[in-house]
Amino acid sequence: MNQGRLSTEFRDRAKEFASATIRLFVAFPKDREEVRILGKQLLRSGTSVAAHTREASRARSEDEFVSKLAGALQEADESQLWLELLRDDCGVSHKSLPPLHQEAGELIAILVTMINRTKANIRNTKAEIGKAES
């Protein structure tokens, strides 16, 4: 089933990523300043993936769709960075950190594919219009 330009399954997957980010943030130790700061960054970027996905599904044009997906891509990539810093530099080890890092990577791959395909469709449409006009 689709809601707007994106499938319900993909929208739900982005929302679950946001929910998992929230649950991980809640589990972080509250007594370490660096963990608190990086955790807030992760919380912001992880929930933004779902927000941008929702916005993309309601885009009014192909260009706006690509722009919103690019925002989700940027936030997913940033989420991966915060997860890596929390793991590697802050020593945070939580059972949900590796699967969340993997999910961010999978979302990144899906978003890159969607963006590239949409851009290719835009180029093809413009080329067809150009041929029809000549």
What's the confidence (pLDDT) of residue 127? 78
The Cα diameter of the chain in Å comes to 68
pLDDT above 80 for 128: no
Asked if 31 contacts 89 with a C-beta cutoff of 8 angstroms, the reply is no
- Average pLDDT for the chain: 94
pLDDT digits (tens, 9 = 90+) for 98-116: 999 999 999 999 999 999 9
pLDDT above 80 for 1: no
Residue with tokens 């929702």: 54
Pairwise CA distance, residues 102 & 123, whole Å: 32
| Domain boundaries defined on the chain | 2-133
Taking residues 83-87, what's their average pLDDT?
97
DSSP state, residue 94: -
pLDDT above 60 for 56: yes
Q: Which of 20, 26, 12, 43 is nearest to 100 (CA)?
A: 20
CA angle 51, 4, 117 (to 5 degrees): 85
pTM over the 0.85 mark: yes
Q: Which amino acid is at 126?
A: K
CA angle 73, 74, 77 (to 5 degrees): 85
What's the confidence (pLDDT) of residue 3? 64
pLDDT above 60 for 2: no
Q: What percent of the chain has pLDDT over 90?
A: 84
Pairwise CA distance, residues 100 & 97, whole Å: 5
pLDDT above 70 for 84: yes
Q: What is the CATH number of domain 2-133?
A: 1.20.1440.60
Taking residues 5-23, what's their average pLDDT?
97
Q: Among 2-6, 109-113, 121-125, which stretch is predicted with the lowest mean pLDDT?
A: 2-6
Asked if 80 contacts 105 with a C-beta cutoff of 8 angstroms, the reply is yes
